[in-house]
A = this chain, B = another copy of it.
């Protein structure tokens, strides 16, 4: 009869995973705090090769952590990002919000001639000052956020710019890195990114350590 040999203890699996990542990934360009975030992002993607594409702007980790500790809301462009945040890790029972399915979103999308992912950002504006913004899916959302910031929208405390894909993803993240309108940011250059990596970064920012 087939016997399966595997580690069944969640904490042991995490610890072993993080040890493998630290052994294999080149994290030397990151601060200790950035490396902690990077390890979790690599873990979520199963991809050590993603590390060279991570960029953290100076002060990003401190800004995001400080905002979360002060009770900042987290705005996500996709339900999967929001769903990937572990509520128990949040330091201030922070709201984790995705307004993609808000009934007002389709109408706004028509009005602005953009995707629903972009349109939902209009519903963030009232609470966007000092918030943590996490874009893990739609390049259009990141581009539209930049347009709103350009036009004077309230500034988040930190932006996770990690949309994934083949059309606009790399360009939107380059645009954020080129001019983030003074907001500290983290990006994954190129095509990589996605909801799992973004949620993993949020989980790391929410509570330092494993």
Contacts and interface: CB of A to CB of B under 8 A. Distances in A.
Interface of A: 1-2, 4, 6-10, 13, 16-17, 20-21, 43-47, 79-80, 83-84, 113-116, 118, 139-140, 143, 146-147, 150, 164-169, 171-172, 175, 179, 190-196, 199
B196 A46 contact: no
B8 A43 contact: no
A197 to B, nearest CB: 9
Contact of A150 (B2, B17, B118): B2
A167 B199 contact: no
Contact of A165 (B46, B115, B193): B46
- How many copies of this chain? 2
A175 B115 contact: no
A44 B164 contact: yes
Given A166-B21, A196-B195, A6 B140 contact: yes
B83 A166 contact: no
B13 A167 contact: yes
Contacts of A191: 46-47
11 contacts: A2-B150, A4-B146, A7-B140, A13-B167, A17-B166, A45-B164, A45-B194, A46-B169, A80-B83, A195-B195, A195-B196
B195 A20 contact: no
Contacts of A113: 8
B171 A6 contact: yes
A118 B6 CA distance: 12
Nearest to A151: B1
